Homo-oligomer: A and B are copies of this chain.
Amino acid sequence: MKVEALRLVISSARKFINMGSLTRLWNLVKNFHPAVLADIMEHLIARERLILINTLYERDKEKAAEVLSELDPEDAVTILENLPIDQIADIMQITPPDDVAPILELLPEEMKDAVLTAMAAKPTEEVMELLDHEQETAGRIMSPNFYALKESTNVSDAITAMQLEGDVESAFYLYAVNDQDHLRGVVSLRQLLFSRPNTPLKDIMTKDVISVQTETDQEEVARQVADYNLVAIPVVDSEHKLVGVVTVDDIIDVIDKEATEDMYKMVSLDTTDRIQDSPFTSIKKRLPFLLFSLLTASVSPFVVKHFQGTIQEFVTLAVFMPLVAALGGIAGNQTIAIMVREIAIGQTEWLSARKALLKELLVGIGNGLVIGIIVGAASYALYGNLYLGMVVGVAVIINLFVAALIGSLIPFFLKLLKLDPALGSVNLLTMFTDSIGLLTFLGLATFFLAYLK
């Protein structure tokens, strides 16, 4: 929906909500796709969201459930929290289990248990099974609903069996299993459509099925789906039994989320920080990171303190301090961004770590020479002092080399500590480039002080 149209719908929805004209509200929104309704929902305040979801629930439960599925789990929870347990359970049991799990686990413990008790037996069981798996693994994000039949079934029986099972949302494949439910092959619905009715599945199935295990990390699942151009990937347990399927729409959510997280972690930001959060919530989320930043930013002042005497004697040095520090930070950020993204999209494994480091060092030296010579020459031109030009230039060259070294090492170092390679990397880098840059610059200046003045 175009922005202008959306804006109009939102303001009308608000008006109807605040006038209590719920029938007009329903008429306004009833034909919208759940994704659009979720979008509208995000622009409403808490009280309005509650009225909208109740209106949807009363006229069309399915629609209310679909809208909640489309929302971020964090948003869905803030709405659900205000509904009676029975109503939550009623909505949750018609919501796909893989959408229910992330919502439920954000609810307060007692509320979650109450909802699971109030839900019908089958959906409760399915949700509990998903919740048994670690967060951010294939087991947690998979859907337990898929088509699977014995490999000896023929095409015609397979179609009948699938019809009896009913419509499985976003199912594009039929999986073939053996008598022990082990995954043996996959048949696309297209193949099924084009095959003779009496052909057994095992004659048409692709035997080389790409699958993941329940405990596979969701980023790895996403990488497999992306590399092999899949629209769904089967999930097997430790005995190679087929237990679920991760569909590509969930993979897109994972990729989007991980990309945002990479960027957020790089600049020391809580990964749940959102533009819609209240200022107070965002302050609470950002403060711990800013306090960490305060620590990393407090190192370089101690370096400068050590050279106070030099600066006192030749105060022009203070003018160049921000430049030397900033250039190191900028070049280091470039290296970190490349490393973080290429680690994230799987280009760089330990396999090529050494090669990457060597390359970045060469780039650091190359760019350092060019930028250092320009800065040095400009300083010389401005101040007419050759030694000043040399000191500034050499400090920039060394700092760009340090930036490349530290910028390549930080992501790998964080990974070695089993932390996210992006986590706080820009702050850590700035700590080093500011401190080492200023140390080099002021150290060189102290050494050549006699020639500078």
Contact = CB atoms under 8 A, between A and B. Distances in A.
Interface stretch (A135-143, A235-243, A347-355): A347-355
B337 A269 contact: yes
Nearest first, the 7 A-B pairs at minimum CB distance are: A259-B259, A279-B362, A229-B249, A297-B326, A283-B366, A267-B333, A35-B227
A199 to B, nearest CB: 14
Given A248-B248, A304-B318, A323 B337 contact: no
Contacts of A434: 322, 326
25 contacts: A7-B351, A159-B193, A162-B193, A163-B194, A167-B190, A170-B229, A170-B231, A189-B193, A225-B252, A226-B256, A251-B252, A259-B259, A259-B263, A260-B345, A263-B341, A283-B370, A286-B363, A290-B330, A300-B322, A301-B322, A304-B318, A318-B318, A325-B325, A330-B427, A333-B426
A263 B266 CA distance: 10
A297 B327 contact: yes
B312 A300 contact: no
Interface stretch (A14-22, A101-109, A178-186, A270-278): A270-278
Contacts of A193: 159, 162-163, 189, 192-193
Contacts of A287: 367, 370
Contacts of A301: 319-320, 322-323
Nearest to A275: B342
Interface string A329-350: 1110110111111100101111
A298 B319 CA distance: 10
Interface of A: 3, 6-7, 33, 35, 39, 42-43, 70, 159, 162-163, 167, 170-172, 189-190, 192-194, 208, 210, 225-231, 248-249, 251-253, 255-256, 259-260, 262-264, 266-269, 273-280, 282-283, 286-287, 289-291, 293-294, 297-298, 300-301, 304-305, 308, 311-312, 315-316, 318-323, 325-327, 329-331, 333-334, 336-342, 345, 347-352, 356, 359, 362-363, 366-367, 370-371, 374-375, 426-427, 430, 434, 438
Contacts of A326: 293, 297, 300, 430, 434
Given A259-B260, A274-B342, A275-B356, 13 more contacts: A42-B347, A172-B189, A255-B256, A259-B263, A259-B341, A264-B341, A275-B348, A282-B363, A283-B362, A283-B366, A298-B323, A326-B430, A329-B329
B231 A327 contact: no
Q: Which of A286, A325, A366 has the most CB of B within 10 A?
A: A286
Contacts of A311: 311, 315, 318
A231 B256 contact: no
Nearest to A273: B338
Contact of A263 (B70, B327, B337): B337
Nearest to A315: B312
A366 B275 contact: no
A350 B279 contact: no
A198 to B, nearest CB: 16
B194 A3 contact: no
A39 B348 CA distance: 11
